[in-house]
Chains A and B, each alone.
Chain A
Amino acid sequence: QKEVEQNSGPLSVPEGAIASLNCTYSDRGSQSFFWYRQYSGKSPELIMFIYSNGDKEDGRFTAQLNKASQYVSLLIRDSQPSDSATYLCAVIIEPLGTGANNLFFGTGTRLTVIP
């Protein structure tokens, strides 16, 4: 089982709709989670960082974390064509006894917002 799994999509939503991106992770001990956005041919950008169960909102973006079910999601409200990109979920995992964290990425979900 991969450490982080995402539906690769593509996910298409109409402009103005809510886009829902999901991610599951395998290590129950994981504590911190990230969402990145990457436009085609560009470097990733960090959108959200969440470590507490529940919702974290930042503008049109809401990250949701459910540690019991081991999933983290990203909601984009009022989707815009400029939101069309690949969204990467990442999870911090600390291998036992190493004292060093490793960051695992999902393969990304490609989102297209249709005008």
Chain B
Amino acid sequence: KAGVTQTPRYLIKTRGQQVTLSCSPISGHRSVSWYQQTPGQGLQFLFEYFSETQRNKGNFPGRFSGRQFSNSRSEMNVSTLELGDSALYLCASSPGLTFSTDTQYFGPGTRLTVL
């Protein structure tokens, strides 16, 4: 079974631009959650989508948004990029709701650099 895939793996943007990251979950998994990891703030939860609906969310500004498609693939969008958005963005998939299961698999991440 293929694992979680994320595209692109690396991305360089400039301040003020917007970016869209993509995540394809493991086949059969219905939940996709997104995380930001930086050396300073560590790992932080962004949001979770299940059956095309956002179910849980972290403390990020509205510039961070996401969506999930009927095939469970998910995209995350960051608008008006700031230098502080430079980070590794990880997605993870679960068969059920992320927070009620001990089954969760992470993708390799997208490294975003904002110049």
Contacts and interface: CB of A to CB of B under 8 A. Distances in A.
Nearest to A88: B43
Given A101-B99, A104-B45, A105-B45, A44 B58 contact: no
A46 to B, nearest CB: 4
Interface size bucket, B side? 20 to 34
Interface string A83-96: 00000101010000
A107 B42 contact: yes
Nearest to B103: A46
Interface residues of A, number: 21
Contact of B107 (A34, A43, A102, A104): A43
Nearest to B45: A103
B102 to A, nearest CB: 3
Looking at chain A's contact residues, the main secondary structure is: strand
A102 B102 contact: no
Contact of A105 (B42, B59, B109): B42
Contact of B43 (A46, A100, A105): A105
Interface string B43-78: 111000000001111110000000000000000000
A82 interface: no
Contacts of B58: 102-103
A106 B64 CA distance: 22
Nearest to A31: B99
Interface in A29-77: 32, 34, 36, 43-46, 48-49
Interface of B: 42-45, 54-59, 90, 98-109
Interface of A: 32, 34, 36, 43-46, 48-49, 88, 90, 92, 100-108
